[in-house]
Structure 1
Amino acid sequence: MEKHWIKLLVTTNAIQAEITKQMLEEHGVPAVIINKQDSSYRFGQIELYVHESKEASARGLIAEIEQGDSEV
């Protein structure tokens, strides 16, 4: 991976990682998923990265979504 990318999210839930990636990209924040899970047994982690120049925006967007979820 190129330099200057920040690990923003680590999860075991592939759907959560993909939804977060799509949400970030819809708001103009490029994101990359690296799936380190074993393909047969689904253990391991999935990591989501954003460029360091977009880290603050990405964290803000994720915080907004999490805050909205807790209000429901």
Structure 2
Amino acid sequence: MAENWVKAYQSAQVMRADIAREILEQNGIAAVIVDKKDSNYPVFGMYEVHVPAGDLSQAQMIITNEGALNESE
């Protein structure tokens, strides 16, 4: 059964995206990092954390409540 995956978080820093993925997985939400960085011009693009569509609201709540992931980009 294929699920629709949606973006729950994005960052210009791969480390922050990886922390978000890890926090979501610790809370029982499957998550993957999608690299949207431009390979020729790495200053453009972001790292996105995607989750199953049904888990989006819970994932966003977890990320919002996680102070370490708040950043200004």
SS in 2 for 1:58: helix
**Counterpart in the other structure of 2:58:** 57
Runs of 4+ in 1 over 6 A off after TM superposition: none
Let me know the Cα RMSD of the aligned residues: 2.2
Which blocks of at least 5 consecutive residues in structure 2 are unaligned?
none
Give the alignment's TM-score, normalised by structure 1: 0.75
SS in 2 for 1:9: strand
For 2:36, the aligned partner's letter is K
SS in 2 for 1:17: helix
SS in 1 for 2:29: coil
- Structure 2 Cα separation of the partners of residues 36 and 11 of structure 1: 10
Q: Within 5 A, what are the aligned runs for 1:9-48?
A: 9-38=9-38, 42-43=42-43, 44-48=45-49
Provide the aligned length of Structure 1 versus Structure 2.
67
The structure with the larger Rg is: 1
Identity %: 29
- Structure 2 Cα separation of the partners of residues 37 and 20 of structure 1: 17
**Counterpart in the other structure of 1:8:** 8
1:47 deviation in Å?
1.1
Post-superposition Cα deviations, 1:17-67, rounded to whole Å, max 9, x if no partner, equal: 00000000000000010112256863221111000111111011112113x
